[in-house]
Amino acid sequence: MGEKSPYFPMSQTHLLPREEMLETGRRKKKVTIGIPKDSSTFENRVPLTPQGVELLTENGHTIYLESGAGDRSHFFDHDFSECGAIISKKTEVFKADIILKVSALTSEEIDFLQPNQVVISLLHMYNQSRETIQHLMDKRVNAIGFEILKDAFDCFPVVRSMSEIEGAASVMIASEYLSKAFNGKGVLLGGVTGISPSELVILGAGTAGEFAARAALGLGATVKVFDNSYHKLRELERNLGQRIFTSVLHPQSLTKALQSADAVIGSLRYLQRGHTFMVSEEQVSQMKKGSIIIDLSMDQGGCIETSKCTNYDRPTFNKHGVIHYCVPNIASRVSKTASIALSNIFTPILLRLGEVGGIQNLIKEEVGVSHGIYIYKGILTNDLIGNRFNIPSKDIGLLMAAF
């Protein structure tokens, strides 16, 4: 054996038992969550259901709900209180650590905010104003736009979920307005024995287009889908499990399909404004009288030239003998279903926020959440908003390294 070290006598080289070193981990954080009543006349959804509230309260979090916040989705105050929510006034709700709301905050609601609060709501970028963004920055809050949140699969879960609902609901709406019950031309959207099926043209092979196609095919209608992406068209057919009429957006093919269509659903999405309309007014004028157009792209200006934004008080108008339905938030029409879908997305995020110890750790660990952040501690982190309003923005990753 080797020579013993003169610096370590035998008595000091024996292996002695030591205390076990355990990972202490981060301390979980109990948070308060405020859900104000939506002030928008045409917004019926609520971001958390009583079941979501129950799950959060069982994990030690406190939920403050403004009275009547869920009424329009048929979730009432007693439903929430039985699941652990505290029914409060608006001023109390806005004292919570996290403010969770469907529509974007109004200027009056932003006045209630305090520094370092987390605000989760619809960003609605193309309908947003510079003054609102600056107001949020001045309040030094952490703002998350839920339509730009991503999940572990690099998808936008809220957008996808609402698109599924809107796609299916658009076929239901088309069916209603083709019937005589809504002064339509009395056509059944679908097909029955011995009668040629009605025709539905869908613009866009994304999620909304796919679920519109599913619903229409289930009714027996003839479905034609147009999109600029050959890959999306092929993926659509694979998801549907059957061959249907698909085409790229060739003007002659599209015009011919529109002339024979009973209903048209526009679900094309654009990343930037300034796009050209995919269906011109001239093409609309050649459509059959009494047919219907449902434009699901109204939050971005629409994809049909004759479209103009409507609301639930007056959802339709007639142009060239064609009914136009251009309400921007169709998912709110089936608000209970949409609210359950939103709650299924937000509840795990809020639970995770508590587990990791706060918003800062959540942003560091969840890339999808960091993608949804557009203001962090009063600093703008979304370059699209910055470019649009000429406000300097910083990368959220660099900010995380600094804080």
Spatial contact of 346 and 45, defined as CB atoms under 8 Å apart: no
Q: What are phi and psi of 200, to 5 degrees?
A: -125, 125
- DSSP E strands in 30-108: the ranges are 32-35, 62-66, 86-88, 98-100
Give kind and range of the element (H or E) at residue 218.
Answer: helix 207-219
Tokens of 310: 């409507």
- At which residue do the structure tokens 């703008």 appear? 380
Angle between helices 207-219 and 157-178 (to 10 degrees): 40
Q: Taking Cα atoms as reference points, which of 169, 55, 161, 59 lies closest to residue 102?
A: 161
How far apart are the C-alpha atoms of 86 and 79, rounded to whole Å?
Answer: 11
Helix axes 50-58, 335-356, angle to 10 degrees: 10
- Return d(Cα 166, Cα 333) in angstroms, integer: 9
DSSP code of residue 111 = H
124 a catalytic residue: yes
Amino acid present at 92: E
Q: How many CB atoms lie within 10 A of CB 399?
A: 17
The residue from 124, 135, 275, 320 that is catalytic is 124
Task: Please list, in sequence order, all residues whose beta carbon lies within 8 angstroms of the beta carbon of residue 76, skipping any fewer than 6 positions away.
Answer: 70
* Residue (of 33, 47, 58) closest to 346 by Cα position: 47
DSSP 40-101: -TT----S--HHHHHHHHHTT-EEEEETTTTGGGT--HHHHHHTTPEEE-HHHHTTSSEEE-
Residue 219, classed as helix, strand or coil, is helix
Q: Across 89-214, where does the E strand assignment appear?
A: 98-100, 118-121, 142-145, 199-203
Active site residues: 124
